[in-house]
């Protein structure tokens, strides 16, 4: 509760949300569709404003909330390609993109990001990648797409603290223990990648920001 008012306070200070975006976030939350937490999103949008990427790849669209936010943060200057494996969510994301009149800026690809590799690469090369999908597959997403990233390009991963279960995966509830261990292993692996400078931040559910050397 306290966290919600803090989020609202920060969102207001950060300039509020474009009309319609708050309704989209509320729609997602009401249906239990996970979307990026406000602080993590604020850091992501800040990175986009600083980096000014031309082509952004997002893995994990849901209903298009963060993709629309990124397209707007780039001043419609970036092309956002976003991949969603759930056909119903991909359809809803396309409708939402059209509602914001962003059809020229956002391309929703329906498919599993680990299978639709060619369909995704056709729109590259990418200079910014956002990973916000199946928590057990971050290493595969990273290795599949980050190799094609331009020098100086950025990979932003959300949920890397996995509700803090990465601190002690063994103590996590049994049904998510394996996922917590995988996320912990991904973080340790990512921290050691010599081709990237990576920082891990405790904002939202934890984010990592890697810059290709
Ligand atoms: C956390 S939600 C994305 C939220 C979105 N980035 C936002 O903040 O508005 C994760 C989404 O990734 C999708 N997903 C999971 N694994 C995937 C995969 N292998 N390929 C494509 N999409 C995937 C899920 O169906 C889900 O809609």
Write the CATH number for 120: 3.40.50.150
From 89, 134, 143, 158, mutation site for ligand 1 pocket: most ligand atoms within 8 A of C-beta: 134
Atom 13 of ligand 1: nearest residue by CA position: 60
In this prediction, residue 4 carries a pLDDT of: 74
What is the number of domains present in the chain? 1
Residue 11: half-sphere exposure toward Cβ, Cα within 13 Å? 16
From 62, 141, 163, 205, mutation site for ligand 1 pocket: most ligand atoms within 8 A of C-beta: 62
Residues of the domain holding 100 = 2-212
Does residue 110 have its Cβ closer than 6 Å to ligand 1?
Answer: no
In this structure, the chain runs to a length of 213
Could you state, in chain order, the average pLDDT of each consecutive group of 10 residues for the chain (213 residues)?
A: 76 79 93 94 96 97 98 92 98 97 97 97 96 97 94 97 96 95 98 97 96 97
DSSP element (H, E) containing 95: helix 87-99
Q: How far apart are alpha carbons 88 and 85 in whole angstroms?
A: 9
DSSP element (H, E) containing 48: helix 38-51
In this prediction, residue 51 carries a pLDDT of: 95
From 84, 114, 120, mutation site for ligand 1 pocket: most ligand atoms within 8 A of C-beta: 84
Ligand 1 atom with the smallest distance to the CA of 34 is 1
């Amino acid at each position: 509760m306290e966290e919600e008012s803090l989020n609202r306070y920060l969102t207001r200070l950060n300039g509020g949300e474009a009309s319609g975006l708050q309704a989209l976030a509320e729609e997602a939350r009401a249906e239990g569709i996970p979307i990026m937490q406000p602080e993590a999103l604020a850091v992501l949008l800040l990175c986009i404003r600083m980096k000014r990427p031309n082509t952004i790849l997002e893995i994990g669209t849901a209903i298009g909330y963060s993709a629309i936010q990124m397209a707007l943060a780039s001043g419609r200057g970036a092309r956002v390609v976003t991949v969603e494996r759930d056909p119903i969510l991909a359809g809803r994301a396309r409708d939402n993109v059209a509602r914001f009149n962003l059809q020229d800026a956002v391309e929703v690809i329906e498919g599993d990001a680990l299978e639709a590799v060619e369909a995704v690469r056709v729109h590259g090369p990418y200079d910014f990648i956002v990973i916000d999908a199946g928590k057990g597959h971050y290493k595969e997403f990273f290795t599949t797409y980050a190799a094609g990233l331009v020098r100086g390009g950025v990979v932003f991963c959300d949920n890397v603290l996995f509700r803090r279960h990465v601190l002690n995966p063994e103590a996590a509830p049994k049904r998510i223990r394996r996922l917590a261990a995988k996320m912990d292993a991904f973080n340790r692996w990512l921290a050691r990648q010599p081709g990237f400078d990576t920082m891990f931040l405790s904002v939202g559910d934890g984010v990592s920001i890697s810059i290709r050397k």
